[in-house]
Amino acid sequence: MATANKNLSAYDKTTIPSAKDLRFGIVVSEWNDVITEGLYEGAMEALLDCGALSENIARWNVPGSFELPFGAKKMLESMELDAVIAIGSVIQGETKHFDFVCSATAQGIMDLNVRTQVPVIFCVLTDNNMQQAIDRSGGKHGNKGAEAAIAAIKMASLG
């Protein structure tokens, strides 16, 4: 397992560009909100820790992970941003629905990265069960939201 021995929240602040002058959008799925709120909190904490100003961070909610690409697209069209973080959680069920939602969401976010000049960071947990999601949204493996925030800062700072 890729995250078995990794703390997703760990970063070396000395290697991260300052986020002081950057503007961020965060699109958060309401589905599995116990998980997505934890991811959002991790992302916010890391952005603020790296110098981002709270007034330069916008949050929009969408119903589910499938809607994240559209929410991110609309956010990019209506705001001047340096990066967007798309936060969601899809947990394996008994049907193929999991596969379709995960694939379409990842493809939609990738398409935005290819078509726009603003990086959109994929922070969608695709776990086999709720415990795995808990472990990656502030639990024993740290917080994937913090990792996504660091990626957003680094990508927004590319020359």
What one-character-per-residue DSSP string does 57-83 give? Answer: EEEEEESSGGGHHHHHHHHHHHS--SE
Show me where the domains of the chain are located.
22-156
Active-site choice (13, 97, 115, 140)? 97
Instruction: Indicate if 97 belongs to the active site.
Output: yes
The highest-level CATH class for domain 22-156 is alpha beta
In tens, the pLDDT along 89-118 reads: 999 987 888 889 999 999 999 999 999 999
33-49 and 144-156 helices, crossing angle to 10°: 50
Alpha carbon distance 133, 88 (integer Å): 10
In tens, the pLDDT along 119-158 reads: 999 999 999 999 999 999 999 999 999 999 999 999 999 9
In tens, the pLDDT along 5-58 reads: 678 788 999 999 999 999 999 999 999 999 999 999 999 999 999 999 999 999
Among candidate residues 75, 31, 37, 38, the one with its CA nearest the CA of residue 57: 75
